[in-house]
Structure 1
């Protein structure tokens, strides 16, 4: 559906060239939800805006549904963009227009008839749960409602692709969940391919099928969301996941631990997350175990268990216990106090 090939975006400044995107290659399948994650300045917004050529790439190819957008004339590109909707962090609604007219704006830009607009706008507002807000103005809406209007506007011309630029970062947690649920419903009911950028792995975990991690304009790691959570390779990826799954132990707990013990983080992937592996480990080794923290997440309906555990005993027995876990396909990492 979307192919990015050797994509580069450079910005010329008085201080020299800034590289927003560096040799990015991505393949996004039709109908999937693809996340792009990175901290501020990582290049994720530049990359997203290159997909619909709001930012013209310095070099490389952007192929959407078999068409290389970088080769199109301006009129051809305008037509192609009608099939690529976009929503933004700060909604970009027109404050002087009603909800109805904000959604209608996209249809007027596509030169739809007044009759088509009159029929289409109520359908879109019904889809996003705002059928009763047509005559209100943006100032009368909550943040979540404003984003729903923006989503309705982005869907006005039946796009094949929906680009989402930090769509929930200005919203509170409960509203974020409702917007993510709406995007998931839109993806499933309409089959729209969604590309979403965020700095929150929690959003990726809840919504996306695949994810790319960006740093310094480069994609440093990519893959299925479950695989990235279960086996992160890059330090930045591990940092994002640690924040998302909240593994940090409080200082008072560290103070209570025996000086000779080891603290280990154990990752149970797939089938192993539902087995009594820790109990088995304690039976076959001469160690004592004390679970300090643990939970099982379900990512795309696959379990991923994470436990932090204090292990006490002779060093040889501790080594034997950790090797047992590794042999059971568990990820094992010794945790040190920061």
Structure 2
């Protein structure tokens, strides 16, 4: 155990392995399953998003990761150390390497920005002569050096969250847990906080686990993601793969909140041709496949909707279009687009 603990604390980055994890709550009405046999592997240095609606179990899961909630069963390994087997001083020491930021900031209102951050350092036993320099370093990292002596009530929501991030980073964690960290913020502030988290991830190589119900958050910074429903993980993979090829109705529902292609029924009723949904992955999204297809097979094409989204810095093109012409030519055109790397779905065959 001593060797394993040494390895855990000395290694700069972390990999999390969740094995068959369950959390059951006892209520007056009986047992309620918050997390139901979840298994996930989170690679070191990744930003991993966990998505789900309220009650899906994502908050219970993330609170189990640092044992704020004690799991009913299963294992949580960080760099090969099972945290569920640690107790007392060992567990407290392990938690210092797992920072956490919250939706509602949880700052101490009677303390200044600097004192809020210093509080975390003092709690960890940091030598007094090192605290001031570390606080200054952290405030510069989150772009709040000029707010050192300000109280939380004088800060905006985004600034409060930056203080929360600085405090979570105070003890050089290997893992940063984000519990709906942007849900209380406006869109512009959310984007600035996400960019800060991405910068921290890249510069410090900290593994970030982020829970949210907003797919825009996942699309902006996550490498991989899991979708939860009723305490279970129902889909897991790279953000790009899930956006480009969702496997469950819930994943499709979440994606539509970010990329919507609903066409008014009145416009659809005016269409007489075949209506296609055409999806291009990767570099193919930037090529003129549709234009080439229309010219080569002598068909008419009418774009109804379309865009190119950039996910993990890779393009994903999605288009809705009406095509008219000889049925045989249209079938050949569809086959040609598929040969060029497109995924084509017939929404309606035409009137």
TM-score w.r.t. length of structure 1: 0.94
Residue of structure 1 in register with 2:7 after alignment: none
Deviates more, 1:260-269 or 1:90-99: 260-269
CA RMSD between the two structures: 1.6
Alpha-carbon shift at residue 322 of structure 1 (Å): 2.9
Q: Deviations over 1:6-36 (max 9, x none)?
A: 1111111122221111111111111111111
**Mapped partners of 1:166, 1:58: distance in 2:** 23
Residue aligned with 1:246, SS: coil
The equivalent of 1:265 in structure 2 is: 277
Question: How far 1:248 sits from its partner (Å)?
Answer: 2.3
Map 1:25-174; keep pairs closer than 5 Å. 25-174=39-188
Measure how far apart 1:96 and its partner are: 1.3
Distance 1:287 1:15, change over 3 A: farther
Q: Matched residues in 2 for 1:94 and 1:69: separation?
A: 28
Q: Over residues 86-115 of structure 1, what are the superposed CA-to-partner deviations in whole Å (9 max), with x where a residue is unaligned?
A: 001111111111111111111111122322
Q: Which of 335, 338, 349 is equivalent to 1:323?
A: 335
Written as runs of structure 1 = structure 2, the 5 A alignment for 1:215-230 is 215-230=229-244
Quote how far apart the aligned CAs of 1:271 are: 2.5
Task: Choose which of 179, 193, 196 in structure 1 pairs with 2:207.
Answer: 193
Secondary structure (helix, strand or coil) at the match of 1:24 reads strand
What residue in structure 1 maps to residue 323 of structure 2? Answer: 311
Give the corresponding residue for 2:10.
none
User: How far apart in 1 are the matches of 2:163 and 2:200?
Assistant: 14
Give the secondary-structure state (helix, strand or coil) at the position aligned to 1:245: coil
C-alpha distance in structure 1 between counterparts of 2:196 and 2:344, whole Å: 37
Equivalent position of 1:292 in the other structure = 304
Residues in 2 aligned to 1:287 and 1:90: alpha-carbon distance in whole angstroms = 56
Q: Which structure 2 residue ranges, 5 or more long, are not aligned?
A: 1-14
Give the paired residue count: 334
Rounded to whole Å, the distance in 2 between the matches of 1:264 and 1:42 is 34
Q: Give the ranges of 4+ consecutive aligned residues of structure 1 lying more than 4 Å apart after TM superposition.
A: 314-317
Q: For 1:229 and 1:100, how far apart are their aligned partners in 2?
A: 41
SS in 2 for 1:249: coil
Measure the CA separation in 2 of the matches of 1:334 and 1:38.
29
Q: Deviations over 1:126-155 (max 9, x none)?
A: 110000001111111011000000000000
Question: Per-residue displacement from partner, 1:165-199 (whole Å, max 9, x unpaired)?
Answer: 11111111111111011001101111111000111
